[in-house]
Structures are given as structure tokens and as C-alpha cells.
């Protein structure tokens, strides 16, 4: 299975760095997504990791270790608009019906001035 665990809430200061950890069971796993979701809105794609290592994309970076079943999302130079929920999602197993995503509970990040 793919139980996805991430912290419920995190608080950080504007301009700071925050790291959101995500752990999962590795059976049937193909890749790992991070999505951002503002309250009342649909999730927006942030990153997709399928290989081990760090993927950097502007202020956001995502890391994956497949052997450890571990990922993190790093948010740098925090801005007030980054206050949102961040969803970790495991992709797979790939089936004829499509590539399913299993979401973690989401981490609500509150950025304070």
C-alpha cells in the first residue's frame, strides 16, 4: 500500500525557509508529487520526482529518496501568498485504468509577517 504521512501544520516567518517532510510505504510506488492548495481551490502542480535527488524550481525544491521512502518540499524566501496546504501524493501502481495518486493528509503552512 501507500500510506502517505506528513505533518498537519507548520508556521514560519516571511522570508524564512520551511521544509515539509513526507514519508510513505514504497510498495507499488512510481513517483512522488507535491501540490499546493489554497483554501477553497483546487490543487496546483508544484513538482514531480521519480529519481532520487533534489529537483530545484525557483523558490521551491523537492527531494526524493526512494530507498528510504522519504521526500521533502523546501520553500525558500517565504512570502505571505505561500500560506496554503501542501499535499504530498504518491503515484502508482500504474494500472490499465490510469496512474492513480494517493494523497497524504496535507500540511497547512501559515506564513506570518
Partner 1 sequence: GAVVSQHPSWVICKSGTSVKIECRSLDFQATTMFWYRQFPKQSLMLMATSNEGSKATYEQGVEKDKFLINHASLTLSTLTVTSAHPEDSSFYICSASRPVYQETQYFGPGTRLLVL
Express the helix, strand and coil content of the chain in percent, nearest 5 each: 5, 60, 35
**Three cell numbers written together for 46:** 508544484
By CB under 8 A, tell whether 44 contacts partner 1. yes
How far apart are alpha carbons 8 and 105 in whole angstroms?
7
- Confirm or reject binding of residue 91 to partner 1 (CB under 8 A): yes
- Which x/- pattern over 59-88 shows residues binding partner 1 (rule: CB under 8 A)? ----------------------------x-
Residues 98 and 83 sit within 8 Å (Cβ to Cβ): no
Per DSSP, what are the bridge partners of residue 108?
Answer: 9, 85
Q: Which three cell numbers stand for residue 20?
A: 515539509
Q: According to CB under 8 A, which one of 50, 54, 80, 110 is a site residue for partner 1?
A: 50
Q: Which of 34, 43, 82, 84 binds partner 1 (CB under 8 A)?
A: 43
- Among positions 21, 23, 83, 100, the unique one binding partner 1 when judged by CB under 8 A: 100
- Residue 48 CA to residue 30 CA, distance in Å, equals 11
CB of 20 to partner 1, least distance (A): 14
Which residue ranges make up the site for partner 1 (CB under 8 A)?
Answer: 30-31, 33, 35, 40-45, 48, 50, 87, 91, 95, 97-106
Amino acid at each position: 500500500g501507500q500510506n502517505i504521512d506528513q505533518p498537519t501544520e507548520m508556521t514560519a516567518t516571511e522570508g524564512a525557509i520551511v521544509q515539509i517532510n513526507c514519508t510513505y510505504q514504497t510498495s507499488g510506488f512510481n513517483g512522488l508529487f507535491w501540490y499546493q492548495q489554497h483554501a477553497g481551490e483546487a490543487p496546483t502542480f508544484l513538482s514531480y520526482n521519480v529519481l532520487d535527488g533534489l529537483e530545484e524550481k525557483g523558490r521551491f525544491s523537492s527531494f526524493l529518496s526512494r530507498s528510504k521512502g522519504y521526500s521533502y518540499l523546501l520553500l525558500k524566501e517565504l512570502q505571505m501568498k505561500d500560506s496554503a496546504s501542501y499535499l504530498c501524493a504518491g503515484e502508482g501502481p500504474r494500472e490499465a485504468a490510469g496512474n492513480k495518486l494517493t494523497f497524504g493528509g496535507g500540511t497547512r503552512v501559515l506564513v506570518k509577517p
